[in-house]
Structure 1
C-alpha cells in the first residue's frame, strides 16, 4: 500500500494560493529589474565566457573566490569590454562619416556600380540574362546605402544623448559580473534545485543546455570577432576607407553559413579590379579565400567541437530573429533560446525513447 495520503482541500488551496503569490512576486521582481535586463544579460555572458579562467584561478589561489573573481573581471575588462567599446565608437564614427560622404556626393553608389559594370561587362550581361533591371538596381542600392548610413548616424546621436545611461549600464554589468563569477556555482545550484523536476532530469537538461549554449556563445562570438578582425586588418593594410565599419559588418555576416564575410570582401575585390587596382584586388582575393575563409573551419572545431554546436541554419535564423526582436542583444540571445529549445526537446526525446 502507498504511504502517500491524499491532500485535503485546505492543503490544495494553500498550495494554489502559495503558487499564485509566488507568480505575482516573481512577476513584480521581473518588472523591477526589467530596465536593467541588458546589463544583467551581458553580465551572464561575461561570466559564462570567463568561468573557466575563474575556476583555474580559484584552484591556484587556494579557494579565494573574491580575489579570483576580481582578477578574472579585470582580465575580461582588458580583453573584451574596452576593445568592444572602442570598436563600437569607431564603428559609429565611421558610419556617420559614410553617411556624410554619401549626402555630400563624395561617394556615389550608383556611379560605383556603373564603373564596375563598365570594367566587368559580364556582370550587367548576367543581370540582363536573369531579367534584372540594372538601372532600378542602381537606384535601389543607392537608396539602401543612404538609408543604412542614415541609420548609423541616428544611432550615433542616440548613443551620444544616452551616454549617462550607457555608462550606468556598463558599471552595473561589471558589478554584477563580479558576483556571478564569484558565486556562479552556488547560483546555478540554487536554480537547479528550484526547478520542479527530478534530479536526473535536471542534471540532463542543465548539462545539455550548458554544453550547447557555451559552444554557441563562445563559437559564434569568437569566430565572428576573429573573422571581422582579419577582414578589417586587410582592409586597413590595403588602404580601404572605413575599415573598422566593414570589419564589424563582416563579423555579423560571419553567421551566414558558407558565404559569411565574403559578402563584403568579394564585392570589394571586384570594385578594386574595376578601378584598376589589380594588385590590391588580387591580395584581397587570396587573403579572403585562404585566411578569412578558413578561420571558421579551423577555429570553430577547436573552440567548441563539431558535435556540440548548433546547426548553421538554426544559428542563422535564431540570430536574425533575435536581432529583429531584441536589437543587438539578440545576437547572443537568439542562439541561446535555440540552444534551450534543443536542450528541452533532446531531454524529452531521450526520456520518451527510454520509457517506450
Structure 2
C-alpha cells in the first residue's frame, strides 16, 4: 500500500515538475520549435558531412550550422529588411495620397457594373467595401510601419532569440539522436510506437517546412518579378506578401495578382492586365499545383484537402508556426488512429 502511494505521489510530482519546466521555457518556445525544425531539415546534411570528415560530431554540427546560416538565415534576413523598407515607403505614399485604395474599388465598380449588381443582390454594398478597403489598407500599412519600428527598437531581443535558436540547433545537430533514444526509453508508449511517431514527426516537419518554404519562395519570386517588369510600385513588398499568402493552398498568391489585374482591366490597361492574368494562372498557379503535391502531400502522405484544412486551422490557431504544426497534428492524428486500428481492433484468432 505504501509503495503504491509513493509511486502515485512520484508520478504526480513528475507531472507537476514537467509542467513547471514547460512554463519556464514558455518565452522560448518559438526558438525551440524552429531549432527542432531546422535540425530535422538539416540532419541528413549533417550525416553527409560526418561521412566526409569522419567521426567528428562537433565539427560536423558546426559546418552544418554554417551552411544553414548561409542558405536560409542570411537570405531571409535580407528579404525581411527589404520588405520592411518597402512597407514603410508604401505607408508614406498612402499617407501622402499618392496611392488611393478607395480609387481602386471605384475603378473596378465603374468598369464592371455587373459585379456591383451581383454583390448588391447578396446585400454587399460596394460603398461600404470601398471604405473598409481604404481604412484596412491604411491600418495595415500603419501596423507594418509600427512593427518595423518595433523590430528596430527591439533589435537586441531579436538578435538574442536568433542566437539562442542557432545555439540550440548546434547541440541538437550534435546530440539529437541521443535525445531521441532517451525519449524513447522514457515515454511509456512502447518503443516501436514511439519510433514510428518520431519518424512521422521528422517526416512531416521536413516535408512541410521544406515544401511550403520552397513553394512560398518560388511563388513570391515569380510574383515580385512580374510586378517589377510591369512597373508596379514596391515589387519586393508584394512578392513577400504573395510568398506569405502562398502558405494557403489553392488560393494563395491569387489574392494579390487577381485584384491588381482587375484594376488594370478597369483602368483600360488591357494588355498589362491580360499578361498578369496569364502569368498568374499559368506560371504562378502552375508552380503551386506542381510543387506543393510533390513536396508536401507526397512526403507527408496526407491528402491535399487534409493539408489545406490543417494548414488553415494551424495558422488560425498558432500564427505562422501553424503552417508546420497544423499538418503535423493531422499526420500524428492519422498515425495514432492507424496504431489503434492495427493493434486494438484486430479480429482475435480463435485458440
TM-score over 0.5 (shorter chain) = yes
Deviation, 1:239, is 2.0
Superposition pairs of residues 57-68 of structure 1, within 5 angstroms: 57-68=49-60
Q: Secondary structure at the residue paired with 2:291?
A: helix
* Count of equivalent residues: 348
2:41 paired residue number? 49
Is structure 2 residue 220 aligned with structure 1 residue 220?
A: no
| Kept in 1: contact 2:212–2:296 (CA 8 A) | no
TM-score by length of 2: 0.89
Structure 1 gap segments, 5+ residues each: 1-8
Greater shift in the superposed pair: 221-230 or 116-125: 116-125
Please give the per-residue CA displacement for 1:208-257, whole angstroms capped at 9, x wherever unaligned.
33333332222222222221222122212222112222222222222333
Structure 2 gap segments, 5+ residues each: none
1:195 to 187, 195, 203: 187
Is structure 2 residue 245 aligned with structure 1 residue 248?
A: no
Q: Distance in 1 between matches of 2:138 and 2:130?
A: 12
1:273 paired residue number? 265
Please give the per-residue CA displacement for 1:72-125, whole angstroms capped at 9, x wherever unaligned.
111111111111122222222222222222222221111121122333444334
TM-score by length of 1: 0.88
Q: Secondary structure at the residue paired with 1:132?
A: coil
Q: Distance in 2 between matches of 1:313 and 1:99?
A: 37
2:298 paired residue number? 306
Superposition pairs of residues 88-103 of structure 1, within 5 angstroms: 88-103=80-95
2:132 paired residue number? 140
Q: Distance in 1 between matches of 2:140 and 2:338?
A: 40
Deviation, 1:137, is 1.4
2:221 to 224, 229, 239: 229
Structure 1 residues 311 and 99: alpha-carbon distance in aligned structure 2, compared to 1, 3 A threshold: farther
Structure 1 residues 280 and 63: alpha-carbon distance in aligned structure 2, compared to 1, 3 A threshold: farther
Q: Distance in 2 between matches of 1:195 and 1:55?
A: 26
Please give the per-residue CA displacement for 1:140-191, whole angstroms capped at 9, x wherever unaligned.
2112212222221221122122111100011111111111112121112212
Q: Distance in 1 between matches of 2:214 and 2:59?
A: 26
Q: CA RMSD in A?
A: 2.3
1:340 to 329, 332, 340: 332
